[in-house]
Amino acid sequence: MVARNSNLAKLPGGYLFPEIGRRRKACQEQNPGARIISLGIGNTTEPLTPHITEALARAAAGLGTAEGYSGYGDEQGFASLRQAIADKLYQGRVGADEVLTSDGAKCDIGRLQLLFGNQVTVAVQDPSYPVYVDGSVIMGASGDFDSASGQYQGIVYMPCLPENQFFPDLGALPRTDLIYFCSPNNPTGAVATREQLAQLVEFALANRSIIIFDSAYSEYIADPSLPRSIFEIEGARRCAVEVSSFSKPVGFTGLRLGWTVCPRDLVFDDGSPVLKDWNRIMTTVFNGASNVVQHGGLAAVDDTGLAEMRRTVAYYMENAALIKRCLEEMGIESHGGVNAPYIWARFPGCKSWDVFARILNEAFVVCTPGSGFGPAGEGFIRFSAFGHRADVVEATERLKKLSF
Ligand code: MLT
């Protein structure tokens, strides 16, 4: 027999979202007549916009012709798409050769963990998107799970709470090799200011750390004073990589298309470029994003596509405003939901999973327990603004009937 990977054995439970799905299913079985509404996983619900749909259909039809057929492409993606992302989404701040497209930000995070290996030390925002921690554990870059603290040994947790404006006290932190940082943040909906990101970059440069910056929700930033990319910050090219995605702004959650920007200036301590090794990883374990989907990505970043993207984002942000208003009427403290599609609600003195269970079993609404994102998420619930308008309205009506 083969010995089990001991790193997987360190994980105390399943991945957060399947666990939520399991509880939803159990609730449905107990209440077969109930119509359960999800404000849980950040899964997009609105149809693709016409311009993108046409581009996808054209590309798919082309594959059925001798002239339009293509097989494997470059692992890094279409040169045209890499150029368009650099020009349209980064205003030329990054080079097309520094953008490698992929099947999504989550998958890129997993491959970055492969790139950096298991000898690195890691810091994460607490709470944070579970892949940063779970993936690091699976790679072997952590010790065991400590059930008393809810933390893995060897991982540095940076508490991000309303009390510190969701930004860690960098002066109190030990040095780590990697710092995962997500803004707009999943799950808290907080967006780091330019000054905060400048502090983070300064901290990383001083410590010779690398920031893995997750900007998957950057299109949700409406306030022009807030940075959408770490590369808007001076010095970031020497200390950061950025992962991002078409999932949330244009609904490619099922289609799968994302990218990572790895600047040429970023080097390991032996002076070798990180980009060279990143390219080696991508060409070895990845075969390029789907060619059809890349045509969809090209449509998403042309002028028509960008205008449609803004409408999709605005739709979900109206949902966010409805959820925030509902919580306010209920007297529940909430954060986020202004430049991000997540609302982070506080239930003082309560356990997140208990609040989750009440909302599920009494209102038939699925949300996400804050503690699933890390110990500092205890006592919070995350509501996602992704959903059909009618469902969001009905969910808020049901929530208002509960009292906490
Ligand atoms: C979430 O709900 O946190 C995300 O949508 C999950 C994901 O993007 O993988």
Per-domain residue ranges of the chain: 8-47+306-399, 52-303
Nearest alpha-carbon partner for 383 in 309, 315, 321, 314: 321
Q: What CATH number should be reported for the domain whose range is 8-47+306-399?
A: 3.90.1150.10
Nearest alpha-carbon partner for 37 in 397, 320, 387: 387
Give the separation between CA 305 and CA 159, rounded to whole angstroms: 38
- Provide residues with CB under 6 Å of ligand 1: 41-42, 106, 129, 186
Mean pLDDT of the chain: 97
Residues 6+ apart with CB under 8 A from 306: 88, 300
pLDDT, average across residues 316-321: 98
Q: How confident is the model at residue 13 (pLDDT cuts 50, 70, 90)?
A: confident
Which atom in ligand 1 lies closest to the alpha carbon of residue 40? 2
Q: How confident is the model at residue 14 (pLDDT cuts 50, 70, 90)?
A: confident
Give the separation between CA 134 and CA 14, rounded to whole angstroms: 10
Give the separation between CA 333 and CA 344, rounded to whole angstroms: 8
Burial class (CB in 10 A: 0-12, 13-18, 19+), 304: middle
E-strand ranges in 64-138 read 99-102, 122-126
Say if residue 367's pLDDT is above 90.
Answer: yes
% of the chain beyond a pLDDT of 70: 100
Say if residue 83's pLDDT is above 90.
Answer: yes
Our measurement of the distance from residue 373's CA atom to the centroid of its chain's CA atoms, rounded to an integer in Å, reads 12
Per-residue pLDDT reduced to its tens digit, 124-138: 999 999 999 999 999
Give the separation between CA 275 and CA 91, rounded to whole angstroms: 20
Q: How confident is the model at residue 355 (pLDDT cuts 50, 70, 90)?
A: very high
Report DSSP state, residue 85.
I
Structure tokens at 234: 């001076």
pLDDT value at residue 15: 85
pLDDT, average across residues 89-118: 98
Residues 6+ apart with CB under 8 A from 67: none
Which atom in ligand 1 lies closest to the alpha carbon of residue 131? 9
Q: How confident is the model at residue 252 (pLDDT cuts 50, 70, 90)?
A: very high
pLDDT, average across residues 389-404: 97
Say if residue 64's pLDDT is above 90.
Answer: yes
Could you please report the per-residue DSSP string of 245-280? ESHHHH--TTT--EEEE--TT-B-TTS-BHHHHHHH
Say if residue 33's pLDDT is above 90.
Answer: yes
Say if residue 391's pLDDT is above 90.
Answer: yes
- Pocket perturbation via mutation, ligand 1, pick of 16, 39, 186 by most ligand atoms within 8 A of CB: 186
What are the residues facing 389 on neighbouring strands? none
Nearest residue (by CA) to ligand 1, atom 8, is 42
Q: What CATH number should be reported for the domain whose range is 52-303?
A: 3.40.640.10
Nearest alpha-carbon partner for 183 in 119, 255, 129: 129
Per-residue pLDDT reduced to its tens digit, 137-191: 999 999 999 999 999 999 999 999 999 999 999 999 999 999 999 999 999 999 9
- Pocket perturbation via mutation, ligand 1, pick of 38, 43, 108 by most ligand atoms within 8 A of CB: 43
Give the separation between CA 359 and CA 365, rounded to whole angstroms: 6
pLDDT, average across residues 313-335: 98
- Pocket perturbation via mutation, ligand 1, pick of 19, 38, 41, 215 by most ligand atoms within 8 A of CB: 41
Say if residue 115's pLDDT is above 90.
Answer: yes
Q: 14-23, 314-323, 361-370: which range is least confident on average?
A: 14-23
pLDDT value at residue 147: 93
pLDDT value at residue 250: 97
Give the separation between CA 113 and CA 118, rounded to whole angstroms: 8
Our measurement of the distance from residue 333's CA atom to the centroid of its chain's CA atoms, rounded to an integer in Å, reads 23
Per-residue pLDDT reduced to its tens digit, 207-241: 999 999 999 999 999 999 999 999 999 999 999 99
pLDDT, average across residues 372-397: 98
